[in-house]
Structure 1
């Protein structure tokens, strides 16, 4: 797959994510997509399949009033794209023993996208 196309698909995915546009996020996602979230070396979320990803994305909408991912660096290796990212979001609900509605959170990390047959087959967020 061409690098330019992979970059465009990732840009479209992130734009849709930032706009809470779930259908836009899923437009270029493979039906067997895997989502992984790793924090401090431990996998704390692992989902497989576009329907499960859609359900998780719909549930996540209420967590933030605003959210934004910005890519600050991008490295392409074959069908895998590693993106160093900055995330900021305004919390949309109170969390027990955690952030409260209206609080701003900022995170740095990376998001790895892997492609198969022109679609995103893996999304791995690492913090």
Structure 2
């Protein structure tokens, strides 16, 4: 069995480097991605193609971004990481955030695995 921690680290490195191929290297073809903000699901993606398409769009939003893992808890099928998130916006957003503005947040990601592949990823902020 491949170490889940290595798989997660590879995903985070890919995210930080804007390297989508690295991000999805350990995804199952039918991966499900959910983003939860303020307790509500605001994005659900089904399959690696939908995730890749959204990740490509997301690259345009930031001039820099970095997730840093602050803790990791895992069992046989699930790994939960707490993260510190830093980003610099590349564009103006409808909610009033401006290009060049820095974001600093804390969040959590839940990875679910099957046969050394990520089958579900949930981001919570």
Which residue of 1 is the match for residue 76 of structure 2?
A: 78
CA RMSD of aligned residues (A): 0.9
Which residue of 2 is the match for residue 28 of structure 1?
A: 26
Q: How big is the shift at 1:104?
A: 0.2
DSSP 3-state at the match of 2:60: helix
CA distance in 2, matches of 1:41, 1:97: 19
Q: Of 45, 48, 55, which residue of structure 2 is paired with 1:47?
A: 45
Q: How big is the shift at 1:41?
A: 1.2
Residue 106 (structure 1) aligned with residue 104 (structure 2): yes
Q: Runs of 5+ in structure 2 lacking a partner?
A: none
Q: How big is the shift at 1:97?
A: 3.1
TM-score normalized by structure 2? 0.96
Higher helix fraction (1 or 2): 1
Q: How big is the shift at 1:98?
A: 2.1
The total of aligned residue pairs comes to: 125
TM-score normalized by structure 1? 0.95
CA distance in 1, matches of 2:23, 2:107: 20
Cα shift readout 1:56-104 (whole Å, capped 9, x = no counterpart) = 0000000000000000010002210000111010001011232111000
DSSP 3-state at the match of 1:9: helix
CA distance in 2, matches of 1:53, 1:14: 15
DSSP 3-state at the match of 1:100: coil
